[in-house]
Amino acid sequence: MIEKTYTMIKPDGVANKHIGDIVGRFERVGLTIERMELSQVSEAEAKENYAEHEGKPFYDGLIAYITSGPVVKMVVSGENAVATVRKLMGATDPAEAAPGTIRGDFGLTMDENVIHGSDSVASAEREIGVFFG
Ligand code: IDP
Ligand code: MG
């Protein structure tokens, strides 16, 4: 099914100059970049996006990290876009992420894991609303 997902290159991914490589991986499998914007995530957007993690021990650090520098926000579409982007991202913890995945290739720890991607079509719709209005 053709669907849209929300994905975001996190501040470490931008700072370490992986934008082109990551966008290239999406295009290589045939996904379409529908929207793309480099900008800073506000504290309000960060809290809305990560509401499910409020109260967890890593929550404050996560909000500080995601607002610490520019990110690249994207809407990506295609067949099974949500699952395909998650597959290309790899496991949440870069230490567990397979080589060849974005997190496996560009990350080292869970505190800076390079990229965000929606985990369902419903989350994608919500997150596109948060970040693109
Ligand atoms: P996901 O990004 O693979 O969907 P989630 O469990 O939804 O993973 O967690 C959201 C984000 O919160 C992760 O990408 C990561 O940046 C951060 N995070 C999750 N668990 C931890 C942790 O144990 N320590 C530090 N950061 C974490
Ligand atoms: Mg998640």
How confident is the model over 91-105, as a mean pLDDT?
A: 98
* Residue 122 confidence (pLDDT): 98
**1 has a pLDDT exceeding 90:** no
Q: What is the pLDDT of residue 130?
A: 96
For a pocket test of ligand 1, which of 7, 58, 106, 120 has the largest count of ligand atoms closer than 8 A to its C-beta? 58
Contact call for residues 76 and 32 (beta carbons, < 8 A): yes
**What is the predicted pLDDT for the residue at 107?**
97
pLDDT at 99 over 90: yes
Pocket of ligand 1 from Cβ distances under 6 Å: 53, 58, 62, 92, 110-111, 113, 116, 119
Which residue's structure tokens are 């793309």? 36
What does each C-alpha distance from 88 to 46, 49, 106 come to in angstroms? 23, 21, 12
Average pLDDT, the chain: 97
